[in-house]
Structure 1
Amino acid sequence: MVDMNVVSEFLTAAEAGDINALKGYLQQGVDINSQNKRKRTAILLAAMNDQLETVKFLIQEGADIDLQDQICLNPFLYGCINGKLELVKMMLQANTDLERLTRFGGVGIHPASEKGFVEVVRELVTTTDINVNHTNICGWTPLIEAILLNDGGEKQQEIVRLLVEHGADTQLVDQYGVTPLAMAREKGFTEIEKILLEAGAK
């Protein structure tokens, strides 16, 4: 049994991006997937601190990239939520599980669509088969989030365009039966309304 203090030091080294220290701890037998009280692993802590070389090292050493913490974060979902394109690409290359859910029951493209992270959304729709029509616990698809939870500006317009071009169903309604088109109209998002109408929305 490895001492908990050693595990704590291992996780701190991951946060700091100290790869040499991590190598030493792994040689001592520390479990690469050890978690702190918040269930955060070394690779998640490295990801959250932009230590991408350390993330790469831990992937090579066999870290479980899909383990989630108490609030459902793993490196891929953290990257999607925070617009970290390089991290997202790294996780996709390592075959991250695209079906892991956020604490709101969405897949990675939900928060990226909501928050206006165009490049992350583009990466996901063009290089993966992530479910662009997944419905979260609020009854929202990524398309609905892109309309409902942001300002309708150029980034959101581009995200709506990307989503409909890659299979987003414009007829999927929220839990109250409201369509994406009705939402766009209600918010006065005329550019998004146009994109939806061109995509055949009713």
Structure 2
Amino acid sequence: MEKMSNLLTLVGILMASPAQATPLHDAVTQNNLTEVRAIMSSEKRPQLLEMRDELGRTPLQLSVHLNRVEIAKILISHGADVNARDAKQDTPYLLAGAEGRNEILKLTLENGADLKSTNRYGGTALIPAAEKGHLETVRILLKTKIEIDHVNRLGWTALLEAIVLSDGGEIHQKIVQELINAGANVRIPDKDGVTPLQHAQKRNYQKIIEMLKKAGA
């Protein structure tokens, strides 16, 4: 049912607006602040603000992808939807979290980001942030009411991904500690019943092993 729901959402996105870049998309791509401001002040704003390019992205989603912080501020201040989904089921909020776009992430959190929203893997913004080593992003998200122990469709929590999909280095050690400090359940196993501690032991991640044991794993 969830796959069908996602498919219907995608169909709705593609039918809702032309699948081609608009002048506003072009202005975002060119990082043309003057043109963005001009469009936002014109009568074209309502029709262009949420229109999609060929990848189903709104201008705000494109600004996140390109890390156009000032443009994102302008678009959000004019009501751009921080929860609008593209063809990959990402939203500006989810993408900002996954890519470590912290300035834009903070803007989305201040403007209605849906903390319960999930990406195409069924994961919250915290999970890919932990996996990819975006330490400051993880810290930002842990200050919200995001579900720290959410399990994605792969059967992994943010803690598991910080171990399973990392090299066990200093950054991920810090992320694991941040998750533990925030109350992450260190005993939740993956879908095969393998715990975070067992994954760390298998990879010989000694410092992470010590952290997990100290936390009661």
Question: Same fold by TM-score, threshold 0.5 exceeded?
Answer: yes
1:176 to 192, 199, 206: 192
Where structure 1 has 5 or more consecutive residues not aligned to the other structure, the ranges are none
Q: Does 1:13 pair with 2:27? A: yes
1:15–1:42: 8 Å Cα contact kept in structure 2? no
1:82 deviates by 1.7
CA 1:155/1:31 → structure 2, altered by over 3 Å: closer, same or farther? Answer: same
How do 1:34-183 and structure 2 match up within 5 A?
Answer: 34-125=51-142, 127-183=143-199
CA 1:197/1:51 → structure 2, altered by over 3 Å: closer, same or farther? Answer: same
What CA distance in whole angstroms lies between the structure 2 residues aligned with 1:135 and 1:169? 11
Secondary structure of 2:127's counterpart equals: helix
1:110–1:141: 8 Å Cα contact kept in structure 2? yes
Amino acid at match of 2:121: F
What CA distance in whole angstroms lies between the structure 2 residues aligned with 1:8 and 1:174? 43
What CA distance in whole angstroms lies between the structure 2 residues aligned with 1:4 and 1:49? 21
What CA distance in whole angstroms lies between the structure 1 residues aligned with 2:20 and 2:185? 50
Paired-residue identity, %: 33
Q: Tell me the number of residue pairs that the alignment of Structure 1 and Structure 2 aligns.
A: 198
2:37–2:74: 8 Å Cα contact kept in structure 1? no
Normalising to structure 2: TM-score of the pair? 0.85
1:4 deviates by 6.0
What CA distance in whole angstroms lies between the structure 2 residues aligned with 1:119 and 1:174? 25
1:7 deviates by 6.2
Q: Does 1:192 pair with 2:208? A: yes
Q: Does 1:31 pair with 2:36? A: no
1:23 deviates by 4.1
What CA distance in whole angstroms lies between the structure 1 residues aligned with 2:23 and 2:49? 12
Amino acid at match of 1:9: P
1:66–1:97: 8 Å Cα contact kept in structure 2? yes
1:42 deviates by 0.7
1:41 deviates by 0.2
CA 1:104/1:7 → structure 2, altered by over 3 Å: closer, same or farther? Answer: closer
Summarize deviations over 1:154-174 as a string: whole Å, max 9, x none: 111111111111121111110
- Report the RMSD for the aligned CA atoms in angstroms: 2.0
Secondary structure of 2:35's counterpart equals: helix
What CA distance in whole angstroms lies between the structure 2 residues aligned with 1:6 and 1:176? 43
1:78 deviates by 1.7
Amino acid at match of 1:118: L
1:14–1:46: 8 Å Cα contact kept in structure 2? yes
